[in-house]
Amino acid sequence: MKQNYIKILKRLISLNSVLTSSNQEITDYISSLFKLKHCYRVTTQSIKSSFGLLYNLIIKLPGSSSEKPLVFAGHSDTVPPNSQWKKDPFNARKTSNKLYGLGSSDMKGALAIMIDAMLTAPEKPKQDIYLIITADEEGMGLGIRNLPKKLKLKNADIIIGESTEGRIRLGQKAVLSYKLNVISHSQHAAYVPLEQNQKINPIQQLQKLLSGLTQWAKDNNRQHQTYGGITFNPGLVYSGTNANSLPSNLEAEFEFRFPPLLDFKNLDKLDKSIRTEISKILNSKQYKLEKTFYGGFSETKKSSSLVKKLQSVAKNTTGKKLGFFNGLGWTEASVYEQFGDVVILGPGTISAQHAPDEYVELKNLKLISLIYKNLIKV
C-alpha cells in the first residue's frame, strides 16, 4: 500500500513552524493540498501574537449527516531544536523503523496521517469530517483559546493526535503557570543587616514564597487514584549580579498541576487562592504576577461510546484492541470537551517529544493511519 503520509510528513518537517515564529508557511502548504478538490471547505483563522500573525486551520468534508461529526485535531507548531541535535532537525531522515525530524512525534507525524486520511476519504462520507489544526499549542495556547469563535460543533467524536504510541490516552491534569517579577533596590550587601536582608532581598523573598506555596499545595491537596495529587514546580529563576550586592529585581516562573477531581474544576477559583497566598507572603506592592498558561483537566471513561468505537475499529483493523495509558501533561482535550467526546490517540513516541533527534516509529504511523482511515468508514 502506498504510504502518502511519509511524503507529507517529510514536507511538514521541512517547514519551520517553531513556536517563536509564524506558522503561515505550514498552514499554506496544508491548505493547498485540500484546495485541489471542491469537496473540501478550507477556513483559516488569523490570530495576533508577539511573533506576528498565527493561523488556525479548519478543513471540513461535508457528509450525508451533520449529527455526529468526526474531528481530527492537532497543532502545527513545535518547540525549537536545542543544541544537542546531531541531525538536521528540518531534514527528515527515514530508517527501516524510524523517521527522524523536528516535530515527527509532537505532532507532525499525526498531522501527516490525519491529512492523508482526509484526502483519501470518500467525497461524501457518512458524517461530516473535520481536520482542525491549531497554532501555539507549545506556547500560550493562543490557537485553541481563539478556536471556539469559529466552530459550531456539537455531539462530535474528537480524536487528538498527541503522542500515545498507538495507545488510547484517557486523561490529563490541569495546569496553572505563572511568571513573577519582584522589584527591589540594589545596594552594597555589607550595609544591610541580616533581618532587613530577609525582608527586602528578592531572593530571600522568593525562598519564603516557595516554601509558602509548597505548603499551600499540601494544604489543598487531594489524591486521584490514577493521576496523583497537586504538583508544584519552580522551574526558572533569574536574579542578581554578584554576591556583595542585593539584587535589584528577580524573575521566576513556576507552575501547579491538578488531578481531574471536582475540587479543581474551577481554575479561576484556584488562581484567586494562589494570588491571595502570594500577596500574604510577599506583603509588598513591589511585585508583578502574570498568569502565563492555564488549561483544565480532562478525563474520558473507558465506557464512552467513542472509546468503544475506536476499540471496535482497532479490532477489525489489526485483530486486537488498543491498550490504555494515562498521561499527566496538558493537551487541548479540555477545550475540545465542549464540542463532544474526546480521545487522545496518536503515533508519536512519548520519550522522543521535545528531545534531540526526535523520531516517530514507522509501525505506529502505519497502525494509527489505518485506524484513522477506517474510523471514517464507520
pLDDT of residue 326: 86
| Claim to verify: residue 249 and residue 349 sit in the same structural domain | no
Position 3 pLDDT exceeds 80:
no
Report the pLDDT value the prediction gives residue 378, as an integer from 0 to 100. Answer: 86
Q: Output the pTM of the full model.
A: 0.90
Tell me the mean pLDDT in the region 16-44.
94
What average pLDDT score do residues 225-249 get?
94
**Whether residues 277 and 321 fall in one domain:** no
Q: Distance between CA 370 and CA 335 in Å, rounded?
A: 27
Averaged confidence pLDDT in the chain: 94
Question: Whole domain around residue 340: which residue ranges?
Answer: 4-172+297-377
pLDDT tens-digit readout, 238-253: 999 999 999 999 999 9
**pLDDT at res. 51:** 86
Residue 30 pLDDT > 80: yes
- Residue 172 — pLDDT band, cuts 50, 70, 90? very high
Q: Which of 179-188, 293-302, 368-377 has the highest mean pLDDT?
A: 368-377
Question: Nine-digit cell at 267?
Answer: 481554575
Instruction: Say if residue 109's pLDDT is above 50.
Output: yes
Q: Are both 21 and 160 inside the same structural domain?
A: yes
210 shares a domain with 186: yes
pLDDT score, position 2: 60
CB 189 within 8 A of CB 280: no
- For a pLDDT cut of 70, what percent of the chain falls above it? 99
Q: Tell whether 181 and 161 lie within a shared domain.
A: no
201 and 159 belong to one structural domain: no
Do 123 and 36 have their domain in common?
yes
3-state DSSP of the chain: CCCHHHHHHHHHHHCCCECCCCCHHHHHHHHHHHCCCCCCEEEEEEEEECCEEEEEEEEEECCCEEEEEEEEEEECCECCCCCCCCCCCCCCEECCCEEECCCHHHHHHHHHHHHHHHHCCCCCCCEEEEEEEECCCCCCCHHHHHHHHCCCCCCEEEEECCCCCCCEECEECEEEEEEEEEECCCCEHHHCCHHHHHHHCHHHHHHHHHHHHHHHHHHCCCCECCCECCEEEEEEEEECCCCCECCCEEEEEEEEEECCCHHHCCHHHHHHHHHHHHHHHHCCCCEEEEEEEEECCEECCCCCHHHHHHHHHHHHHHCCCCCEECCCCCCCHHHHHHHEEEEECCCCCHHHCCCCCCEEEHHHHHHHHHHHHHHHHC
Counted domains in the chain: 2
Strands of the sheet containing 174-183, edge to edge, are: 231-239, 249-258, 174-183, 287-295
- Cell numbers describing residue 80: 525549537
The answer on 74 and 122 residing in a single domain is yes
Same domain, yes or no: 290 and 196: yes
Tell whether the torsion through CA atoms of 39, 127, 119 and 27 is positive or negative: positive
Per-residue pLDDT tens over the stretch 314-352: 999 999 999 998 888 899 999 999 999 999 999 999 999
Domain with residue 19: its CATH number is 3.40.630.10
Work out the pLDDT band at 36, boundaries 50, 70, 90.
confident
Tens digit of each residue's pLDDT (9 = 90 or more) over 76-91? 999 999 999 999 999 9
Looking up residue 227, the CATH number of its domain turns out to be 3.30.70.360
Return the pLDDT at 148: 78
List residues bridging with 291 in a β-sheet.
178
Q: Are residues 196 and 277 in the same domain?
A: yes
Of 254, 272, 295, which closes a domain?
295
Q: Which residue has the higher pLDDT, 206 or 184?
A: 206
Q: What percent of the chain has pLDDT over 90?
A: 88
Does 1 have pLDDT greater than 50?
no
Q: Do 305 and 267 lie in a common domain?
A: no
The pLDDT tens digits of the residues spanning 266-290 come to 999 999 999 999 999 986 668 999 9
Q: Which of 295, 314, 337 is the last residue of a domain?
A: 295
Among candidate residues 246, 265, 295, the one where a domain is terminated: 295
- pLDDT classification of 265: cutoffs 50, 70, 90: very high
Residues 165, 187: one domain?
no
pLDDT given at position 284 = 67
pLDDT digits (tens, 9 = 90+) for 293-305: 999 999 889 999 9
